[in-house]
Amino acid sequence: MSSEAVRDKTQIVVVDKHPAIREVLRSKIEDHPEMEMGAESANSEEALALVEQHDPDVVVLEISLGDADGLTLIQDIRSEMPEVRILVFSKYNEDLYAERAVEAGASGYVMKTKSTDEVMRAIELVSEGQVFLSRHVSSRILSRLVRGGDAETTPLEQLTDRELTVFRKIGEGYSVRQIADQLDLNRKTIETYRRRAKEKLGHETVEDLLRRAVQWVEQGTRDQVDTE
């Protein structure tokens, strides 16, 4: 691939731990006359290196990555290459993650319940410097700005980014030690985040929190499969 070809087309890097998702996006991108698939990755460490190597226009990534956290990857990419636009394409509910992703540095958020045509439209708009959010999320963000601290939130929304990440990874089946390794934190810190999540969600025991986390992750997966 020549440097001229890269300039002529919008170059995309896709980061998702599921090969099937990457394959679908690669097929759609390669069929688009003004886009080019620069690279793809299943994990954050490789993804950051590929972004630095290929200097893409847009990175499409999932929040849930096996070796790290997508929000942290967004921050890392923006820190290293602030001109790169980032679109989150996730199975997780936009109510919980879209605003967090934008605050981390993303330019858009699309749930995997949407069609691939919607994802391609989001990539186009993000590559042009625009922000892509659903009307629902845009309305919620505006409501927060207008109402400030009076805006209603669910217990899950009240979790900090780290607490929510730990909660999600518990539901995905990772142990405290594995989560600590992935987030480059010590075990005690992860246990503190877990305890805070347990208290905020109103659970008495860690086992109750685990069941809630597993059910939440499974529900998100079912919603994704049901709409594909």
In order along its 228 residues, the chain shows pLDDT tens digits of: 444 444 589 999 999 999 999 999 999 999 999 999 999 999 988 999 999 999 999 999 999 887 778 999 999 999 999 999 999 999 898 989 999 999 999 999 999 999 999 999 999 999 999 999 999 999 888 877 777 655 567 899 899 999 999 999 999 999 999 999 999 999 999 999 999 999 999 999 999 999 999 999 888 654 443 333
What is the residue whose two structure tokens read 């080019």?
36
**For residues 155 and 196, is the Cβ–Cβ distance under 8 A?**
no
CA–CA dist 189, 135 (Å, integer)? 37
Q: Would you say 109 and 102 are in contact if contact means Cβ atoms under 8 Å apart? A: yes
In contact, 174 and 66? CB cutoff 8 Å: no
Q: Considering only CA atoms, which of 56, 89, 61 is closest in space to residue 75?
A: 61
In the β-sheet with 10-15, what is the strand arrangement from edge to edge? 35-41, 10-15, 58-61, 85-90, 108-111
